[in-house]
Amino acid sequence: MKTAIALLFIALPFAGLAQQDVPAHPYVRFETTEGNIVLELDGRRAPLTVMNFLGLVESGYFDGTIFHRVIPGFMIQGGGHTPDLKLKEADGGIPNESGNGLQNLRGTIAMARKNEPHTAVAQFFINVADNNSLDPKPDRWGYAVFGTVIEGMDVVDRIANSRTGPAGQFSKDVPNIPIVIKEAVRFEYGLE
């Protein structure tokens, strides 16, 4: 109950804007050095997360970032580091929408965050397995799912199976050859 009340107070200032301005199912394409990944976002179940993500896409924030954490059988994480592993910081933060009914299943995209529940900003991960342990429980927040890979899961799997090791400030899980998001583009699916 406390969790629901806390989320309500955090989300209240965004509520009207989210309902009016966020499309129900926008599409984003990541053009990566390994191939394209097409995402269908869920603006109905995760409006604040989708609004934030689309703003980052449209600003060019993700262009030139890498998948910096890759764990086979778990997930691939990106959206926060340059190829030289410098942290790329985005402004703001968003309320955790993990109680939206979407689960961390294979092929879903979710927001990465710190241990605190409302610390997601720009980093995301794509699940390469069903990761139910990342879903919310009655006594804790989960990781907010906000979309699904609809094309390019073979690319996601190829990234997940990259050779990794330590690099920069990371003790492991960094691809030996940087996997770069060359461009993130919002587009109308089926019209290209």
**Partners of 180 in the beta sheet?**
66
Tell me how far apart the alpha carbons of residues 96 and 142 are, in angstroms, rounded to a whole number: 8
pLDDT category of residue 89 using cuts at 50, 70 and 90: confident
Q: Which domain holds residue 34?
A: 2-187
Residue 121 lies in a domain: yes
Say if residue 187's pLDDT is above 70. yes
Residue 55 lies in a domain: yes
Residue 172 lies in a domain: yes
Q: What is the mean pLDDT of residues 106-129?
A: 97
Instruction: Provide CB contacts within 8 A for 93, sequence distance 6+.
Output: 118, 119, 120, 121
Residue 192 lies in a domain: no
Say if residue 68's pLDDT is above 90. yes
pLDDT in the model for residue 151: 98
Question: 8-17, 18-27, 61-70, 106-115: which range is least confident on average?
Answer: 8-17
Report pTM.
0.89
Q: What is the mean pLDDT of residues 102-122?
A: 97
Residue 42 lies in a domain: yes
Residue 177 lies in a domain: yes
Say if residue 190's pLDDT is above 70. yes
The string of pLDDT tens digits covering residues 139-148 is: 999 999 999 9
Say if residue 118's pLDDT is above 60. yes
Tokens coding 47: 């409006």
Give the CATH number for residue 90.
Answer: 2.40.100.10
- Which of 153, 141, 136 is closest to 115 using CA atoms? 141
Environment class of 176 (CB within 10 Å of its CB; exposed 0-12, middle 13-18, buried 19+): exposed
Residue 119 lies in a domain: yes
Angle between helices 2-21 and 47-59 in degrees, nearest 10: 50
Structural domains counted in the chain = 1
Residue 175 lies in a domain: yes
The string of pLDDT tens digits covering residues 12-44 is: 444 444 455 889 999 999 999 999 999 999 999
